[in-house]
């Protein structure tokens, strides 16, 4: 039986920590990282995330083919995808549709007999961005979150490290 979850929150809200706690209850776990280490600051962030999750986690680094990465990870009991926000940015950078990709990923993940936890930023609560690229990203993020939420069995919003159950 599928157990698909979406954990939303702002930057540094505690959403990854919450996702780790959920997935860790269903070992063995696989962490799917969508970030790419393009600079020193991102390399440091990636190192902190690795240390935070500790030993015992398999890791798949995949900036674009999220469905394929999930398929490779589906032999365990839990998958943590961190995060949809960077994945969307990666897709936009190469000219692919985040919405189309998200629909395929969510439909696939909803069929798996594992716990799949998607981490994503909630970016639509602030002011309207002042440029077209930022507005396009914000809009794609909102639509992807809606697509994944529609298939999710559970949704949580994390604020200041505290989860609030939405669905």
Mean pLDDT by 10 residues, the chain (167 residues): 94 94 95 88 82 84 97 92 96 97 98 97 90 94 98 98 97
Q: What is the pLDDT of residue 38?
A: 83
Q: Is the dihedral of CA 110, 121, 92, 65 positive or negative?
A: negative
Any catalytic annotation for residue 49?
A: yes
Catalytic residue among 49, 72, 138, 143: 49
Q: What is the pLDDT of residue 80?
A: 97
CATH architecture, domain defined by 3-165: 3-Layer(aba) Sandwich (3.40)
Q: What is the pLDDT of residue 167?
A: 96
Q: What is the pLDDT of residue 29?
A: 95
Q: What is the pLDDT of residue 102?
A: 98
Question: Rounded to whole angstroms, how far apart are CA atoms 146 and 141?
Answer: 9
Q: What is the pLDDT of residue 166?
A: 97
Q: What is the pLDDT of residue 105?
A: 98
Q: What is the pLDDT of residue 124?
A: 85
pTM, to two decimals = 0.94
Domain boundary assignment for the chain: 3-165
Measured CA distances, 21 to 29, 72, 165 (Å): 11, 22, 15
């Amino acid at each position: 039986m599928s157990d698909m979850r979406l954990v939303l929150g702002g930057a540094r809200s505690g959403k990854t920590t919450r996702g780790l706690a959920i997935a860790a209850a269903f070992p063995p776990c696989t962490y799917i990282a969508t970030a790419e280490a393009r600079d020193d600051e991102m390399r440091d962030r990636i190192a902190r995330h690795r240390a935070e999750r500790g030993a015992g986690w398999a890791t798949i680094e995949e900036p674009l083919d999220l469905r394929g990465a999930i398929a490779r990870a589906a032999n365990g009991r839990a998958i943590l995808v961190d995060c949809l926000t960077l994945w969307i940015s990666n897709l936009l950078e190469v000219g692919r549709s985040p919405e189309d990709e998200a629909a395929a990923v969510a439909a696939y993940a909803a069929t798996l007999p594992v716990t799949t936890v998607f981490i994503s930023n909630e970016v639509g609560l602030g002011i309207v961005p002042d440029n077209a690229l930022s507005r396009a990203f914000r809009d794609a993020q909102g639509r992807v979150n809606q697509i994944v939420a529609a298939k999710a069995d559970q949704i949580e919003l994390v604020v200041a490290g505290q989860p609030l159950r939405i669905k």
